[in-house]
Structure 1
Amino acid sequence: MSRHAGARSIEVLPRQLLPKSGAIRPSAERHRERVAAGAAPLYVADDEERDRVPTIPRKGVVTRALSSTGNLFALGLDTIRSTFKRPFAARDVLEQFWFVVSVSWIPAMLVAIPFGAVIALQLGTLTVQVGAQSFTGAASVLAVVQQAAPIVTTLVIAGAGGAAICADLGSRTIRDEIDAMKVMGVSPIQKLVVPRVLACIMAAVLLNGLVSVVGVLGGYFFNVVVQGGTPGAYLASFTALAQISDLWVGELKAVIFGFIAGVVAAYRGINTAPGPKGVGDSVNQSVVVTFMLLFFVNTIITMLYLQLFPGKGA
């Protein structure tokens, strides 16, 4: 700001009017965050304007955690609501689906083999000790279909596809592309979030079936070849105790877990901190938060399923 003696003050940048309600504009809040982070300020206010701008109270850890949880649930609800709005970005959904599947299917298969092997070997050893070798097939197959396959599938999707989605949206956020879309009247949720979440759900359902088949075959091979089990007993116990609802609950878990992975990745990408470090931190946080939510939700679904649909003979 330049001033001349005896002349009227001339401002290089016109002052922005402050709302009468006392609300703080997002741009002013981002300016203060840049100043606090040590970045060069874009506009320096004078003492009179600084006194008229209300200070932002610092939030505590619990308040920030509750606020983030509420915003995450709100994004999930907005994603569900925006899915049924027109126009539907079918091409974007297919592109994101192909990308998620292409980076996830090989790691998912490679992880499914040792998972099925470990479950079959552990259960095979235990059933031999208690004299129940005929139930090895049912126990190992049900463990793979109900528990291991949905968890393995979504962990791989969150670690590969979800991390890439978070990094993509985070880079768009720090380049102000998200704000530009809002200014132009384009919904970032409908344009960017919905295709990625639907892609994660479709990839989770598809890869869950693939992981289930690979895990069952791996368990069969290790139980029959390595431990000397009987192929007929392995298959007979599975068909005798398994239910069609066991397969459906695995697919239901895949749908819910894929939705969680996509929403968490999108939320952390849209709400990333400024700079490359903020994008990297958001990617790490998205993977960790997804893992924690997956195991928590898996426990709830398993408890409800066992109470509502008891196994044969129970």
Structure 2
Amino acid sequence: MAERTTTPSFPGAAALRQTGRLYGLGLDVVRLTFRRPFQVRELVQQFWFIASVSILPTALVSIPFGAVIALHIGSLTTQIGAQSFTGAASVLAIIQQASPIVTALLIAGAGGSAVCADLGSRTIREEIDAMEVLGVSPVQRLIVPRVLAAMGVAVFLNGMVSVVGVLGGYFFNVIMQNGTPGAYLASFSALAQLPDLWISEIKALIFGFVAGVVASYRGLNPKGGPKGVGDAVNQSVVITFLLLFVLNLILTTVYLQLVPPKGS
């Protein structure tokens, strides 16, 4: 009997293959988004589902998050004698950094985990294979609506987190640190600019896309039975968190290079 030869592999080959497949799924989602028929009903159902499981924890987290940022920045500006810039520093930190990150993490943890579990259960029941046999694209039928819903909910919740976080920071700075309401608002209006809000929404849109694609990919590729689905859910949340922080660094760096600060 002839000896079977195997292709030599190197450390990290499996990770590279998984990364390539994840990237390919993201490209398929973008390509099939503009192909008919468009699953409007599925999109509305997924949008409502992801919003319903994410809106309450997002609202509850945004209040202490904005308060912590305002208290720390207020304490620092008091020490260096720059209390008049407390409002601008707090609001810009909340809008540019905290709001999209908090939104995306909660969507990945709440909505993304649910999406991954749903697709994983369909996969182990061989529903995905049955769809492919019938000539129905699982990506177009199931994944595209879920990814678009995650993106839409991310943009919506990002605006809510920005408003709630700014109001929470204002309350705690004025009430607990004896800040001046006029100085808080004046410094914010003097240094903030409209692109700060746009970059926040763009971040939320991209983060929602990443969370939806990662959750869908892991849901389509569980290893084993129900235990494999549970492992896939945990992996999707961890992978999404890592990608979001890296993307946030890249987007923030590019934004600061392209858009000069107001007044510079």
Task: Indicate whether the TM-score tops 0.5.
Answer: yes
Q: 1:279 aligns with which of 229, 233, 236?
A: 229
Distance 2:93 2:101 in 1: 11
The alignment yields a C-alpha RMSD, in angstroms, of 1.5
Q: Does 1:160 align with 2:103?
A: no
| Equivalent residue number for residue 216 of structure 2 | 266
Query: TM-score scaled to structure 1, two decimals?
Result: 0.82
Residues 44-123 of structure 1: matches in 2 within 5 Å?
61-123=11-73
Q: Which runs of 5+ in 2 are unaligned?
A: none
State the SS of the aligned residue for 1:186.
Answer: coil
Q: 2:176 aligns with which of 226, 243, 251?
A: 226
Distance 1:128 1:141 in 2: 17
Q: Which amino acid aligns with 1:188?
A: P
| Equivalent residue number for residue 290 of structure 1 | 240
Q: Deviations over 1:179-200 (max 9, x none)?
A: 1111110000000100000000
Q: Which amino acid aligns with 1:276?
A: P
Q: Which amino acid aligns with 1:68?
A: Q
Residues 21-40 of structure 1: matches in 2 within 5 Å?
none
| Equivalent residue number for residue 149 of structure 1 | 99
Q: Which amino acid aligns with 1:301?
A: L
Q: Which amino acid aligns with 1:194?
A: V
| Equivalent residue number for residue 141 of structure 2 | 191
| Equivalent residue number for residue 173 of structure 1 | 123
Query: TM-score scaled to structure 2, two decimals?
Result: 0.97
**Could you say if the C-alpha distance between residues 171 and 58 of structure 1 is closer, same or farther in structure 2, counting changes exceeding 3 Å?**
farther
Please list every run of at least 4 consecutive aligned residues from structure 1 whose deviation after the TM superposition is greater than 2 angstroms.
Answer: 54-61
Q: Deviations over 1:90-113 (max 9, x none)?
A: 000000000000000010011111
Distance 2:251 2:133 in 1: 41
State the SS of the aligned residue for 1:165.
Answer: helix
Residue 277 of structure 1 deviates from its aligned partner by: 1.1
Which segment is superposed worse, 60-69 or 116-125?
Answer: 60-69
Q: Deviations over 1:25-46 (max 9, x none)?
A: xxxxxxxxxxxxxxxxxxxxxx
Distance 1:92 1:164 in 2: 15
Q: Which amino acid aligns with 2:77?
A: T
Residues 197-236 of structure 1: matches in 2 within 5 Å?
197-236=147-186
Distance 1:253 1:312 in 2: 20
Q: Give the aligned length.
A: 264
State the SS of the aligned residue for 2:201.
Answer: helix
Residue 176 of structure 1 deviates from its aligned partner by: 1.0
